[in-house]
Amino acid sequence: MEDTQDKTAATTAKARTPEQKARRKLARKMALAFWKVEYLKANPKADKAALKSAWGDARRAKTKAALAALRQMEKEGFRIVPAIEASREAA
């Protein structure tokens, strides 16, 4: 019985808002972009399988760093918005 309650508490605690999901998605894309440049520079002959495996190992730490960088940029007054939203704001 306690096991079920623990799982329920953990699930509700991890429920994220759409804004949080969007920020995490952005951070993950930023992390992948920066990581991929570094990785391919260090491993120019890496194939897709090696790239996928290495990203799986680095994803969590790199995403955490990207979230921190995103927070810092927001503190400095910057905001990153998807291109569709940006074009709507300009209109």
Nearest Cα to Cα of residue 43 among 27, 57, 29 = 57
> pLDDT digit string (tens) for 1-34?
555 555 655 556 689 898 899 999 999 999 999 9
Query: Which DSSP string do the residues of 5-41 spell out, in sequence order?
Result: HHHHHHHHHT---HHHHHHHHHHHHHHHHHHHHHHHH
> pLDDT digit string (tens) for 40-86?
999 999 999 999 999 999 999 999 999 999 999 999 999 988 787 66
Per DSSP, the three-state class of 81 is coil
What global pTM score does this model have?
A: 0.72
Per DSSP, the three-state class of 47 is coil
39, with CB counted inside 10 A (0-12, 13-18, 19+), is middle
